[in-house]
């Protein structure tokens, strides 16, 4: 359970659809979605890192749109679909992005990976066949300090059924 270091002044009842499961509860107005997910709900796949909307490690989808859960107040998600990395796989079946990241070793330390996956998922939901430029523009807000960009790009294009694009367009 969350421990409130400082007493909250106001809570708001919310109904969240998290990875397809409904959750209702009261959240303090100042609580950010990252805290709700990790501390209240135990969904620790979403990572805390820069807390400044720069690095992308805490990326989750709200109604399919990527947001930085570190700087998104939880009450804003009331009535919305929240998708985290835990919701990518369908029961035992990994998402094609997850399979491609594993196949290509699209990670080294793995800390940024949940955010990379969620940003890539949002891209492919909106644009199933991105060009290299569209992909790199979209993903430019997700930083991998280990520098696995080539393998991540390859994984995204394989998941988009266009593995040839990664190598060909990057070279071009």
Partner 1 sequence: MLKPFRLLRPATIEEASRELTRLGDQAKVYAGGVELLLLMRHGMVEAEYLVDIKRIPEMDVLSWDGQHLRIGACVTHRTLEDHRLVAEHLPLLAEAERHVGNVRVRSQGTLGGNLCFADPHADPGTVLLVHEATVTLAGANGRRELPLADFFRGMYDVALEEGELLTGVSVPPLPAGWRGGYQRFEQFYRPTLNVAAAVRADGDRLADVRLAAGCVGPQATRLSDLEQRLRGLPLADALRLVGESAPYLEQRLEPIGDLLGSAAFKIHLTKVLIGRAITQTLPSPAAFAVTVGPGGLGWGNP
Question: Which one of 119, 151, 159, 162 is in contact with partner 1 (CB under 8 A)?
Answer: 119
Judged by CB under 8 A, the number of residues near partner 1 is: 47
Pick from 26, 78, 137, 161 the residue near partner 1 by CB under 8 A: 137
Considering the complex, what minimum distance in angstroms separates the CB of residue 68 from partner 1? Answer: 5
Q: Among candidates 67, 58, 69, 86, which has minimal Cα distance to 32?
A: 69
157 binds partner 1 (CB under 8 A): no
In angstroms, give the least distance from the CB of 144 to partner 1: 7
Are the C-beta atoms of residues 81 and 21 closer than 8 Å to each other? no
- Can residue 1 be called a binding residue for partner 1 (CB under 8 A)? no
- Subset of 81-110 contacting partner 1 (CB under 8 A): none
Could you give the CA distance from residue 154 to residue 169 in angstroms, rounded to a whole number? Answer: 11
Distances (CA, A) of 21 to 17, 79, 81: 5, 12, 9
- Segment interacting with partner 1 (CB under 8 A) among 22-30, 95-103, 106-114, 154-162: 22-30
Choice from 18, 47, 114, 132 touching partner 1 (CB under 8 A): 132
Does the footprint of partner 1 cover residue 78 (CB under 8 A)?
Answer: no
What is the distance in angstroms between the CA of the first residue and the CA of the last residue of the chain? 52
Span interacting with partner 1, options 88-96, 97-105, 106-114, 143-151, rule CB under 8 A: 143-151
Sheet order of strands, 21-28 included? 21-28, 11-18, 81-83, 59-62, 65-68
Q: What span, in angstroms and rounded, lies between the C-alpha atoms of 92 and 158?
A: 20
Residue 140 and residue 119 in contact, taking contact as beta carbons nearer than 8 Å: no
Determine the Cα–Cα distance for residues 111 and 146; give it in Å rounded to an integer: 10
Which residues here bind partner 1, judged by CB under 8 A?
A: 5-10, 12, 28-32, 35, 51-54, 56, 59, 62, 65-68, 71-73, 75, 119, 122, 132-133, 136-144, 147, 149, 153, 169-170, 172
């Amino acid at each position: 359970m969350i421990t409130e270091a400082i007493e909250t002044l106001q809570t708001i009842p919310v109904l969240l659809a998290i990875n397809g499961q409904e959750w209702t509860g009261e959240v303090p107005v100042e609580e950010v979605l990252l805290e709700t997910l990790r501390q209240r709900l135990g969904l620790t796949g979403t990572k805390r890192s820069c807390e400044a909307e720069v690095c992308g490690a805490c990326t989750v989808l709200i109604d399919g749109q990527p947001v930085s859960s570190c700087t998104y107040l939880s009450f804003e998600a009331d009535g919305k679909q929240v998708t985290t990395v835990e919701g990518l796989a369908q029961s035992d079946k990994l998402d094609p992005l997850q399979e491609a990241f594993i196949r290509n070793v699209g990670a080294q330390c793995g800390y940024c990976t949940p955010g990379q996956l969620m940003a890539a998922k949002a891209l492919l939901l909106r644009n199933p066949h991105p060009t290299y430029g569209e992909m790199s523009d979209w993903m430019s807000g997700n930083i991998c300090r280990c520098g696995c960009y080539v393998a991540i790009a390859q994984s995204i294009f394989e998941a988009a059924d266009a593995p040839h694009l990664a190598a060909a367009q990057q070279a071009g």
